[in-house]
Structures are given as structure tokens and as C-alpha cells.
Structure 1
Amino acid sequence: MSRGPGAGSSEPWDARVSGCPARFDEGLGYWVVDGPAVVREVLLQPETFRPDNAVLAHKPLSVKALRVLSAVGFALPPTLANNAGPSHRRIRAAVARFFSPARVAAIEPLARELTTARVTAAAATLATGAEVDLVQAIAAEPPALVLLHLLGLEDVDVPALKAWSLDSLELFWGTPDEDRQLELAHSAAEFYAWLRTRTTAARQAPTTDLFSVLVELGLTDEEVCAVGYFLLIAGQETTTQLISTAFHRALGTTITPADLVEEVLRTSSSVPTWRRTTATPTTLGPTTLPAQAPLLLTLTNQGGPADLAFGLGIHRCLGATLARLETRVALECTQQLLIRVRLTEPPPTIDLLSFRAPRRLRVITASSSASS
């Protein structure tokens, strides 16, 4: 691989051989930053390594897709993950109250109840000799229902939220062709229109839910919708994906749930990478980076701590403790079922720039004679 732009040399190089902490990947169009120490350095310097590109579309959107989004006033101004400005602290503080340690600890019985009910139903289906998809049957809905409860949101179509979430992740972190982009843009526009409806309702009759708190904070409609857009995705879909990965890893193992959660976070988190951009020309070790250099930070499977999967500093994931709790609970509730089943096919994967997990985990009881 050759050096990318701004590296200051025309000599061929390979970061893995030279020890350079950043290498330009021409296929991705990013400077890939490996190594926990260097990633930590980047995350703890938001003024130098800005989050401006954190939620931009990895593949530029087509004119047709942009028109669909524009028709509903779709906008993602800086609020949380993409905000390094002065408004970040107060928005984050307002949202963080929904994820306080006390509130998260108190939600465990609900998470356990929701998961246990689904495990019981899945076990009954498996007992008939039928196949079960562990992702849809167990991992999909509890994180969404728990999040909605924490945020005080009622009357939400959970299957629609799950579909909107997966479509938006693909739109912003995938590489869909123009036809697929258009399809995904319609889904994102539908989601955004729903967010606008909830924002309007909060202005007219405020309660104590997420939208009302954001309105009371003085945010514009676009800012409220931007917070809601990615919080309602990241707060539950990435946890579903983490649980799905943990289920896959748990098959055929005897590792305790709490230990398995940490192992998955270290090696194969559902959010294995994240983006930053340089504010000015800067250096990472011997590597010179130009201003506006797009960075792709490797968070997992680099020998770093499990906690790095949630980021560090002012943009650390607000739901880190919740995600750990929900994944542990899911494993504890499903542990006895997981030792009795086997996969019927190699799991297809969600494989996006910053999101990775089994798309489905189809299993049957291990003693079943059904073909694998």
C-alpha cells in the first residue's frame, strides 16, 4: 500500500511494518488509525481530531436520495456525536440524565422480563423441531423496549423503529447503489417525519419524555430531531447487534456471561470503528496528516481494553453501562437454550463501515435431524 495524500513522502510504506499509527486506505478513502494508545490519543483531543464527519454518509448520497430527504426537511446539525462546539455539553448533560447509573440499574428487571418471555417462546418453537432466528426472536426487540421506557416514549411502533434503524445505518455507513440509496432515503425520510411529529407534540403538550426535555432546553426542531434520530438508533440497534454477536460467540462455549460480554467488546464489538477528521495539519507519531483528513479509528480487536469499544472523552457512548447490562442479561437468560442448539447456516452479516454483527442466527435443537 502506498502513502495517502499529505503523508510527506513518495516512498511506499506499510504501517504494520513501519510502526506508523496511520495508513491511508485508498479503497475506503480514510486514514485508518490502529493501536489502542493512538486511538485513545485521538479520541481525547476533540479540538484537533474533530467529530464533524461522525454521521456523514460514507458513500455520498445521490441527487434523488437528497431530494427525498429534503422534502421532509431532513437535517443533522451538530448535537451529540458530531458536535465539538459549545452546545455539546448542555445537550449531552440533558440526555445523560436518562442514562444515570440509578436509572440503568433499575431497568434490569424489565430487561430480564422482556428477554425471558422471548426465550420461553423460542424454546417452545425449538421443541417442535422448528427453526428459530435468535436475532429476531430474542435479541431484536428488548433493547428497543428498554430504551423507549428509559426515554419516556410511548406508542412507538417497535418493528418500524427497528426497520428504520437498519435502513439508516445502511444509508449512512454502507455503500448502497443509487436504487438502494433511494429506497433507504424513503425509509429515513419516514423516520424523520415521525420525529418531527413527536417534536411538534412535545412543543404543544410537554411531558417528561426525551422530546419534551430537548424542547425545554431551547433546541430547534432540527436539533431535537437530530438528537432523536441517532439516539433512537444507537441506543438500541447497536445493542441488538452486540447481543447477536455475543449469542454467536456463546454457542459451544462455557464462558460466563459477564466475561463473554467483555471478550466480545474487546475483539468483535458491534461498533468496531468510528470516524474523526483533522482540524488542521497534524501528526500522529511519524505520520503527517493534512487538514480535513478523514480518519477511521479501529476500536476493537487491537489488544485494547473492552471499554474502548464505547469511545472515550466527551463523546463516550452514553449508553455504555446500559449496553453491557442488557447483553449480560440476554446471555444469562439464554444460556441454557444456547447450549442446546446449533446453527443451520453460516450467519450472514451486517457489514458496514462502523457496524458489524450477525444479521440472523438460525438455529435448531442440536439433536434435531434437520439439515444444517
Structure 2
Amino acid sequence: MTGCPARYDAELGYWVVDDPAQVRAVMLDPTTFRPDNAVLAHTPLSVKALRVLSSVGFALPLTLANNGGESHRAIRAAVARFFSPARVAAAEPLTRDLFTTRVTAVVDRLTPAATPALTTPTTASALSTGEAVDLVQAVAAEPPALVLLQLLGLRDVPVDALKAWSLDSLELFWGWPDEDRQLELAHSAAEFYAWLRTRAVPGDDLFGVLVGLGLTVEEVCAVGYFLLIAGQETTTQLISAAFHRALTGAPASVDDVLAEASSVPTWRRTTAEAASVGDVELPAGAQVLLGLSGHGGPADLAFGVGIHRCLGAGLARLETRVALECAAVLLSAVQLVEEPPMIELLSFRAPKRLLITALLTCTDTL
């Protein structure tokens, strides 16, 4: 229904709002369009999965994304201090170093053994066409996590486990897993949550600040659970989407990617009472799915607007820009091996992997 301000999708079970002006209006009215469903499991969890989560005291009380109450402002203010413009700007040297190191390692892997390793290739023909390298794992995966942990003051974090926990939790809450898969994902989420409980102690890092604010252990863990996912995995996915666009010849500036192919293309709201979206009447309790990207809206809409705007917007922009800058030469000298398989969840979309090899015929100076 082209031009319809809101349409009901029976398969998804949501009222879908794609028009950027209407999406903005909904997000700017958090009293009518509440965030209560923002982090609920899209696919209802099975009894077995719920038992696994319950065994570690898993709970998601109202904190940030799902909080439409009075406590939201204080929690958000405490977390926002870690993402101040000054702190984000100060993270650029570390970000650039992390991406440069990984891009250089990819170049070395694509360079024939008989050729000295090249920090920056001088010509595309200097690269081998044999080995295939996954740019998601080799370049995009780790730096956002390492930068986030530095900003939050968190040490001794198992980064590989964090990446696995993040992907599993996104699938558990925004995917379509059957009961067997739910059980696997629930064990992963429970392991993540149990680890978070050990970190909810006084100190000068994010968790210590939240404890000092008077939050309960469950509230501290709820903030940490989704912040440690959203603060790095969605940026890894945004960078992966940017790399994919660059490799396929599509416009790949940060704004292009956010506007057309953001890693978070949708978000959820629910109506507190009967409400209107344009000339469409929605009933009370309606589940609403907002299109944030790919519908002709401004790039920044991908981060939301209003009191629930993404706290890490500035950091995600910086990291994606730096990643594209550091990988620009490499991206011009390689090609995709395959059309990449995708992460396809209700609110998350990005390439799972980007297998590349060096171009065979290009000899242009890079």
C-alpha cells in the first residue's frame, strides 16, 4: 500500500510505519507510543528456554530502551556521560589503530609469500588471488567491541565470548528460532547474564556508576546486557553493510549506509491507547514496527529521535567512517567471492560474512 501511513502486516503481527515523517512523529510521542515492547522476544519464548533464563535470575526491568517511566532520565544521563562528544572524539586514534592493524593483516594474507609484506599495497596486482578472507571477522568484528570496552572502563572482558553472546541474544529476542534453537540461544544468554552479575559491583566503570546510582543488580545487568550488545555488535554490522556496499559499487559513505541499509532498519513501539498515524487509526495495545532506514528518510533517523535516541550514535558514525577510510585502498583491490549470507532479524540486518579475494586484472596504482 504505497503512501499508506500505517498498514497492518498479519504475518509479522505489527502495524508497519515506513514514512519517515510519521516514524519521527511516533518516536517524538513516547507517551502515546510507548517503548514497552522494545526488547521483548519477537518469538515467544518456550517454557524450556524461560527455565534456563530463570536459573540465573535473568530479568529485564525497565532501564533504557524499554523504559517509559520516570527512572529513564537518570539512568540515561549516567550512561550518556560515557558517550560524551569529547570521549568519543578521543577514541578516534585507538579506533584508527585497531582498523589499520586489521586491514594490514588482510593485505598480508592476500600478498604472495615471495613478496615482502605490504603495509599499504602499491598496486592491486601485488595481491594474490588465491586465499579468500572474511572481512567481517578479519576487520569489522573486534574493533567496535574493544573501543566500547575502553570507553566504558571495562577490563578483563572475554571479547570472543561477548561477540558470540551478542549474536545469540539478538537472534533470541529479534529472530524466529524454533524451540530447539531457542534452548541453545537461552543457554548462551544465561551465560552472558551470569557473567554480568559478577560485574555489578561498586567501581569507576559503567557497572560501578550504575551501582552507585542505586540501581538493583537486575537493573544494572539489564543496562549492561543490551548496551554491551548494541554498543558494538550493531556497529560491526553497520561497518559490514558499508563494506558490502563499497564492494558492490553502491554509495558507501556513512550517511548513505545509514539512510539506505542501516544495520538496525526497524524498531518497535506499542500504543498506550487508541492512536492515529496520519489518517489511520490504531487500537490500544497495537504493536508498531517503525522503518528507520531504506525509505527515503534522513540518515540520522537510523538512530531514532527523542528521548530514546541511540546513545552511541556519534561513536557508531566515527567507527564506520574510520573503518571505511582505513579499508578504502583494500576495498578497491578486492572482489566478493559470493553474494554474502545475511543476518535477517526483525530489527537487525547485515552480511554475516564478506568473503573476498584480490582482483586478478586490476593494475591501477592505489
State the TM-score, normalized to the length of structure 1: 0.91
Aligned to 1:84: 68
SS, match of residue 354 in structure 1:
coil
Deviations 1:108-143 (A, max 9, x none): 000000111101111111114311100000000000
Partner residue in 2 for 1:327? 320
Partner of 1:3: none
C-alpha offsets along residues 81-126 of structure 1, whole Å, 9 cap, x if unaligned? 0001000000000000000000000000000001111011111111
Q: Deviation of residue 254 (structure 1)?
A: 8.9
Partner residue, 2:308: 315
CA distance in 2, matches of 1:174, 1:282: 28
1:245 is aligned to 241
| Residues 252, 339 of structure 1: 8 Å contact kept | no
1:184 counterpart = 2:177: no
- Which residue, out of 276, 297, 301, partners 2:294? 301
> For residues 292 and 272 of structure 2, what CA distance do their matches in structure 1 show?
21
Q: Aligned Cα RMSD in Å?
A: 1.1
Q: Does 1:59 align with 2:43?
A: yes
Change (3 A) 1:254 1:361: closer
Q: CA deviation at 1:207?
A: 2.2
Query: Aligned AA for 1:184?
Result: L
Summarize deviations over 1:317-342 as a string: whole Å, max 9, x none. Answer: 00001000000000000000001111
**Which consecutive aligned stretches of 4+ in structure 1 deviate over 3 angstroms post-superposition?**
252-255
1:33 aligns with 2:17: yes
Aligned-partner Cα distance in 2 for 1:254–1:92: 36
3-state SS of paired residue (2:269): strand
* Distance (whole Å) between structure 2 residues aligned to residue 184 and residue 218 of structure 1: 31
The residue number in structure 2 matching 1:22 is 6
* Structure 1: gaps of 5 or more residues: 1-14
Counterpart of 2:178 in structure 1: which amino acid? D
Aligned: 1:364 with 2:357: yes
**Per-residue Cα deviation, 1:34-90 (whole angstroms, up to 9, x for no partner):** 100000000000000000000000000000000000000000011000001000000
SS at the partner of 1:187? helix
1:110-129 equivalences under 5 Å are 110-128=94-112, 129=130
The residue aligned with 2:125 is none
Question: What is residue 138 of structure 1 aligned with on the other side?
Answer: 139
Structure 2 alignment gaps of length 5 or more: 113-129, 362-366
SS at match of 2:294: coil
Identity fraction in percent: 74
Q: Deviations over 1:207-233 (max 9, x none)?
A: 210000000000000000000000000
Take 1:75 and 1:232, find their aligned partners in 2: how far apart are those partners? Answer: 16
* Alignment partners' CA distance in 2, 1:349 and 1:326: 21
Q: Distance in 2 between matches of 1:54 and 1:95?
A: 18
Report the TM-score when normalising by structure 2. 0.93
1:270 equivalent in structure 2: 263
Q: 2:124 is matched with which residue?
A: none
The count of aligned residue pairs is: 344
Distance 2:278 2:232 in 1: 36
Per-residue deviation, 1:286: 1.7
